[in-house]
């Protein structure tokens, strides 16, 4: 009797198809703390508007960097940051990235390091890492790129591969090697010697100063170019207006002549019309060459 009562109840087909799992599923295990974190709705909207969707053009490292910056604006204490990261990170994902997070086992990510590591393993695999690191190593300055633009592009390439492993001295060597020959001469001239004679700190300071000067020069050139374009546009517009005024003036000068010709032709047509026969001759100057019936029958004139 005891064995029968201990046996599990029989399950029906309806029980089998019913959902038996947890009502709330989350791959990220949110730490339980006594302190209540207040996250304003405006901050939630800010995170949602910068979502990572695992598109081909999106960079997971840039997304993490942006995520850190947004959370940094929320003014949380450093001891609460990991908890905040784990609360908000799922909201920063959408599309395929959100599907990936939901595919992980429930409560399997117990720390922020787990979340970050799994995220980079999935969306920044070894193949992408090798490609990003190779892009750093073969860096070259473009033919039409200025020094400041080249420096900014190199720093952007470094940020795309945060774990590239290049030390500061190696980064400087790669950057200087990738410059055009004329730019290298400019850098050496600015240093007063070859850049290879300086240490990392000195070389970095020289490059930063030269980039700042080049940026200011580019800015001044663009402003001068814009002012020149504006002046050219005003001159062209004034020239068109001057031509239109001259053309209109010429037409106004010819207007009295046209009026005189029209008036003269009307006067002549009225003065040569006969009041008696309607012929094209003055009164009393009848022309016998006229082919009208009055010319053929003189008796009509007597009438």
How far apart are the C-alpha atoms of 189 and 44, rounded to whole Å?
51
Which has the minimum average pLDDT: 17-21, 51-55, 269-273? Answer: 269-273
Average pLDDT of span 228-255: 72
What pLDDT was estimated at residue 301? 46
**Contact (Cβ atoms closer than 8 angstroms) between residue 147 and residue 155:** no
Inform me whether the pLDDT recorded for 238 exceeds 60: yes
Q: Give 220's pLDDT tier (boundaries 50, 70, 90).
A: low
Q: Quick one: DSSP state of residue 6?
A: H
pLDDT in tens, 3-25: 555 677 777 766 666 656 556 67
Q: How much is the pTM?
A: 0.58
Q: At what angle do helices 147-159 and 126-137 cross, to 10 degrees?
A: 160
Which has the minimum average pLDDT: 59-68, 73-82, 131-140, 167-176? Answer: 73-82
How far apart are the C-alpha atoms of 234 and 74, rounded to whole Å?
50
Three-state secondary-structure class, residue 52: strand
What pLDDT was estimated at residue 11? 72
How far apart are the C-alpha atoms of 98 and 51, rounded to whole Å?
10
| Angle in degrees, CA 74, 77, 81, rounded to 5 | 75
Inform me whether the pLDDT recorded for 2 exceeds 60: no
Q: For the chain, where are the E strands, in sequence order?
A: none
> What does the mean pLDDT of the chain come to?
80
pLDDT in tens, 119-147: 999 999 888 889 999 999 999 998 888 99
**Contact (Cβ atoms closer than 8 angstroms) between residue 86 and residue 31:** yes
Tokens standing for residue 194:
């070859």
Comparison of pLDDT for 181 and 35, the residue scoring more: 181
> How far is Cα of residue 178 from the mean position of the Cα atoms in its chain?
28
Phi/psi at 283 (5° precision): -65, 135
Domain boundaries, the chain: 22-124, 130-221
pLDDT in tens, 158-206: 988 878 889 999 999 999 999 999 898 888 888 887 888 889 999 999 9
What percentage of the chain carries pLDDT values higher than 90?
Answer: 34
Helices then strands (H, E): number in the chain?
14, 0
């Amino acid at each position: 009797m005891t064995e029968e009562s201990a046996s599990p109840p029989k399950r029906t087909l309806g029980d089998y198809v019913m959902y038996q799992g947890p009502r709330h599923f989350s791959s990220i295990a949110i730490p339980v703390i006594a302190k209540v974190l207040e996250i304003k709705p405006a901050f939630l909207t800010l995170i949602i508007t910068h979502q990572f969707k695992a598109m081909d053009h999106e960079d997971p490292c840039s997304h993490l960097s942006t995520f850190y910056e947004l959370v940094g604006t929320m003014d949380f204490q450093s001891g609460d940051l990991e908890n905040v990261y784990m609360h908000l990170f799922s909201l920063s994902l959408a599309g395929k990235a959100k599907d990936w997070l939901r595919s992980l086992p429930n409560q399997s990510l117990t720390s922020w390091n787990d979340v970050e590591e799994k995220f980079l393993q999935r969306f920044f695999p070894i193949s992408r890492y090798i490609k990003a690191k190779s892009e750093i190593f073969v860096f070259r300055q473009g033919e039409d790129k200025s020094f400041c633009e080249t420096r900014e592009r190199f720093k952007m390439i470094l940020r795309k591969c945060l774990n590239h492993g290049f030390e500061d001295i190696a980064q400087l060597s790669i950057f200087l090697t990738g410059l055009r020959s004329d730019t290298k001469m400019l850098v050496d001239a600015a240093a007063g010697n070859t850049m290879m004679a300086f240490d990392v700190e000195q070389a970095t300071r020289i490059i930063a100063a030269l980039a700042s000067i080049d940026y200011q020069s580019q800015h001044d050139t663009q402003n001068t170019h814009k002012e020149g374009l504006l002046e050219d546009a005003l001159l062209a517009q004034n020239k068109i207006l001057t031509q239109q005024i001259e053309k209109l003036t010429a037409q106004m000068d010819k207007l009295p002549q046209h009026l005189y010709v029209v008036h003269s032709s009307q006067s002549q047509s009225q003065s040569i019309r006969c009041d008696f026969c309607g012929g094209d001759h003055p009164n009393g100057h009848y022309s016998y060459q006229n082919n009208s019936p009055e010319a053929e029958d003189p008796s009509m004139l007597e009438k």
